[in-house]
Amino acid sequence: MRRGGSVKKWYIIWTAAVCLFFSGCSNGDVEESAYHFYYVNYDDEMIESSSYEPQAENVDSMMKELTEKISEENSDGGKLYPEEVEILDYSMADTVLTVNLAAQYRGIDLASEILCRAALVKNFVQIPEVSYVQFKIEGEDLLDSRGDTIGLMNAESFLENSGKEITAYQYTELELYFSNETGDKLVKEKRSVYYSSNSPIEKVVVEQLIRGPKENGHFATLSANTGIIGVSVSDGIAYVNLDQKFVAEALAIQEEIPIYSIVDSLVAAGNVSQVQISVNGDTKMTFREDMRLDQMYEANMELVDDGGTK
């Protein structure tokens, strides 16, 4: 494929394949375990992967090698995409890869399109030069089912259950609450995510809080090293069990901010009205000085700085 103009017809299979192929080491040494080829199992509605060892030594030659590989059927006789599409061109700007697809891409049903796009992104971000991927259709922004532009994506845009490859995805927009600069108020940050249907949304919320904020002026409420032991929901109550780092690595912010960062974010997800937090399964303790963990917490919107919400 040539950058900027010439049109080649590829199976979307290529899309999911390309990235992975590039996932090589920065020094040019390729180990079999360093690359994976991601493809879609439409019958089981999941993404699977297999080890892949490219023979090419640079991006351009890898692209040529992949044009042959992506048109091949896998061992089960399937291909990555449910139908043939045309990739018009691609371009790189800094660390962003833009892939421009022909109009046929719009014909893919929503569930399959999410799986296709997840495979594409997971493959492409393995290229050392690529941090983010975005898609266009005939030069226009790719839109979601609500008509909103789907912007830059990376591997974290598609969440999966640990120990498993991606299964069927759901899409949602979360309201997450992080700290303001002074550490005495919460600020709201909206974040769109695709997540595995095997993973409860409440766990996704806590995972995203641990990942930290993405907007300027927003600050973390939990240590990035905090481990999730378990998240469960029963009778409208979310039970969040974190490891000792929740306490040992507590950030230098007002003590109720980490608690209500979790509580307000979980309540905003819509399935619970109360939250109980434990550390290694223990609720008979106090977080910092006064935040007892043996009680149920409800959302506290008085802590939210309206000037910091977006």
Domains of the chain: which residue ranges?
8-157, 169-308
What is the pLDDT averaged over residues 195-215? 88
Residue 267, strand partner residues: none
Task: Mean pLDDT check: name the lowest of 128-137, 161-170, 249-258.
Answer: 161-170
DSSP the chain: --TTS--EEEEHHHHHHHHHHH---TTS---GGG-EEEEEETTTTEEEEEE-----SSHHHHHHHHHHHTTS--TTS--SSSSEEEEEEEEEETTEEEEEE-GGGGGS-HHHHHHHHHHHHHHHTTSTT-SEEEEEETTEEPB-TTS-B---B-GGGEE--TTS---SEEEEEEEEEEE-TTSSSEEEEEEEEEEETTS-HHHHHHHHHHH---STT-B-SS-TTPPEEEEEEETTEEEEEE-THHHHT--SS-THHHHHHHHHHHHHTTS-SEEEEEETTB-SSEETTTEESSS-B---GGGB-GGG--
What per-residue confidence (pLDDT) applies to 211? Answer: 93
Q: Give 255's pLDDT tier (boundaries 50, 70, 90).
A: very high
Look at 202 and 82; give whichever has higher pLDDT.
Answer: 202
pLDDT score of 59 more than 70: no
Task: Mean pLDDT check: name the lowest of 89-103, 206-220, 278-292.
Answer: 89-103
Q: Which of 128, 120, 129 is nearest to 94 (CA)?
A: 129
What is the pLDDT averaged over residues 48-76? 64
pLDDT score of 166 more than 50: no
Q: Which of 296, 235, 291 is nearest to 263 (CA)?
A: 296
* CB-count burial class (<10 Å; 0-12, 13-18, 19+) for 290: exposed
**Residue 146 in tokens:** 């609500």
CB contact burial 60-77 (16+ within 10 A = b; e otherwise): eebbeebbeebeeeeeee
Q: What percent of the chain has pLDDT over 90?
A: 37
Q: Give 139's pLDDT tier (boundaries 50, 70, 90).
A: very high
pLDDT score of 6 more than 60: no
The most confident of the ranges 76-80, 83-87, 169-173, 205-209 is 205-209
Q: Give 190's pLDDT tier (boundaries 50, 70, 90).
A: very high
What per-residue confidence (pLDDT) applies to 72? Answer: 62
Q: Give 12's pLDDT tier (boundaries 50, 70, 90).
A: very low
What is the pLDDT averaged over residues 56-80? 59
What is the pLDDT averaged over residues 6-17? 37
pLDDT score of 16 more than 50: no
Q: Which residue has the tokens 């040019």?
A: 28
Say which residues have a Cβ less than 8 Å from residue 93's Cβ, sequence separation at least 6: none
Whole-number Å distance between alpha carbons of 174 and 159: 13
**Residue 21 in tokens:** 């192929």
Whole-number Å distance between alpha carbons of 262 and 250: 14
Task: Mean pLDDT check: name the lowest of 20-29, 159-168, 233-242.
Answer: 20-29
What per-residue confidence (pLDDT) applies to 8? Answer: 38
